[in-house]
Structure 1
């Protein structure tokens, strides 16, 4: 095999295609300059809002998305969820001015691969992009010590997508049998997932698990409960 062909076939040496999403043009220009100073990186799209960003990710299928937490037209977890549905192979790194642990928890559950404060240096940004593109199993976090302390254990105890899906249905008062029918899985599988949920949350009952998940911003409160409270008021 030609040595050049071997290099081209190595995923670690392939060009990383990056999408930039930030509502400040100056920030995008600065990040683009950092990325394109590297021989192995290219910016394939830029967007200033969530709607355009989602459309561009669907069109270009970038390797990595650098996504600003604060966009004028979208809630960050919704934006991440939609991007991952349209381009599952795109790895998303959030860029933010702050690192609140509850928001970080929700974004990790939505499927981000990294969370960086905008105070990081260029070398840290480049290292994070390369890390997630190379398929490392590690979550890339550059946040404050306080947030790390408050987030201790989240990467080990975070609920899987299926566990969250089942817990949301439990919050809607569905029985195990109804959940199994809704998700087209066996009732035994539902029970197994719930045992895992209880263990991860330290819950002793279905209600306890739901309450703890809502308090930790892992799931949203059921709509019917909100409506009930509104009517009662």
Structure 2
């Protein structure tokens, strides 16, 4: 009989960790060797335990998941990293994969799919949630749009916070005419026609993300 897949579970929610640990512990094909509540603890425990697979959330306090993946690679820890998160926007998916994640699944994945994914990750095979695979395929097939400038992102962040054009001008020490010019450029680059659509599209593309202090 093959040795069980040794698994480290990293998530900042104890209920999630308990649920995942119980699910994998009930299957003889897996051995949960440890848990971590944030990225820094995940790196320390991975270095000590050398699990086959690290099941890793992305949004955690302190060191986030992408930073943890980068640090694991820097320390030459060869454990496979399978991201398990709620978010499938470009702003989360691409950095995680570029940092070295073997796979990317969403937390609504069925139990059997998750078990198969961890086995596949342990074997070195890439695993992607269907929505993530579709997003990456679309990105490959779609010519890259002109990126937003740093100032345009700054304008969008303020727009998303409900700031008016006049308030924007005062905050950024520019004229209202310049604010309108920035907004028109943003609309053109994002292919939208108004402020609300620009904010929605920016979130969809991962250009804006909800911060931990924002409401769910």
Q: TM-score range, shorter-chain basis? A: 0.5 to 0.7
Which residue of structure 2 lines up, in the alignment, with residue 188 of structure 1?
Answer: none
Q: Is the Cα contact below 8 Å between 1:57 and 1:87 reproduced in 2? A: no
Superposed CA deviations along residues 159-195 of structure 1, whole A, max 9, x for unmatched, are: xxxxxxxxxxxxxxxxxxxxxxxxxxxxxxxxxxxxx
CA distance in 2 between counterparts of 1:64 and 1:29 reads 17
Counterparts in 2 of 1:175-190, with a 5 A limit? none
Contact 1:117–1:143 at 8 Å: present in 2 too? Answer: no
Equivalent residues in 2 for 1:1-233, closer than 5 Å? 7=1, 13-136=2-125, 139-144=126-131, 147-152=132-137, 215=147
Give the whole-Å Cα distance in 2 for the aligned partners of 1:127 and 1:87.
25
CA contact (8 A) 1:47 1:53 kept: yes
**C-alpha separation in 1, matches of 2:121 and 2:135:** 24
CA contact (8 A) 2:54 2:79 kept: yes
Distance 1:37 1:115 in 2: 23
Q: Distance between the aligned counterparts of 2:138 and 2:50, measured in 1?
A: 32
State the Cα distance separating 1:37 from its structure 2 match: 1.1
C-alpha displacement of 1:215: 4.5
Measured after TM superposition, the shift of residue 82 of structure 1 is 0.6
Separation (CA, whole Å) in 2 of partners of 1:109 and 1:88: 16
Q: 1:148 to 1:133 in 2, by over 3 A?
A: closer
2:63 match: secondary structure: coil
Structure 2 gap ranges (5+): 149-173, 175-216
Q: Deviations over 1:145-165 (max 9, x none)?
A: xx54432166xx7xxxxxxxx
User: Structure 1 stretches of 5 or more lacking a match?
Assistant: 1-6, 8-12, 158-200, 203-211, 217-232
* Counterparts of 2:138 and 2:3, CA distance in 1: 34
- CA gap 1:87/1:123 in 2 versus in 1, 3 angstroms: farther
Q: Distance in 1 between matches of 2:13 and 2:71?
A: 22
Contact 2:46 2:77 in 1 (8 A): no
SS at match of 1:151: helix
When the two structures are superposed, what TM-score results if normalisation uses the length of structure 1?
0.57
> TM-score scaled to structure 2, two decimals?
0.62
Aligned Cα RMSD in Å? 2.8
Q: Structure 1 81/215 Cα, relative in aligned 2: closer, same or farther at 3 Å?
A: farther
Q: Aligned residue pairs: how many?
A: 150
Aligned counterparts of 1:17 and 1:85: Cα–Cα separation in 2? 21
